[in-house]
Structure 1
């Protein structure tokens, strides 16, 4: 879980790491820094076959392999169905 992501282009080193791990360069690679609860932001990478930009107040994660009727990752819940942390 993370908060307040700041998106950026991946560095050449990050792009090389992703390419080596996957065996080829993916069509889309995005990097970002985010607050993950630590003392400093955490760096993250996203590698994907395509990018769809959706303007919403809730970030949703798309899954191609989701069951019919559930196109978003199962851990993503609408704001009215989220559980408050204890």
Structure 2
């Protein structure tokens, strides 16, 4: 589907990146079978979404009382049934 079909407007942005990074991006795009542009858009979108989500969580946490949150988590964890077959590396 073309971008015009989706109603998305695009703009050309010139980025200066180190040659090594450009080479790595080109290799990964080729490996994934997509264009460098598509890969860059995907990576930028996913990373930006993660940053926005973290900022939102941090904003919400600023209004909360840390000791109350710890108590609520402890109560939740107390409800989890004990399983003696959990590997040591996966225990709290």
Same fold flag (TM > 0.5) = no
Larger radius of gyration: 2
As a proportion of its length, which structure holds more helix?
2
Answer 1 or 2: higher relative contact order, Cα 8 Å, separation at least 6. Answer: 1
Q: TM-score, normalised by structure 2?
A: 0.28
As a proportion of its length, which structure holds more strand?
1
Q: TM-score, normalised by structure 1?
A: 0.29
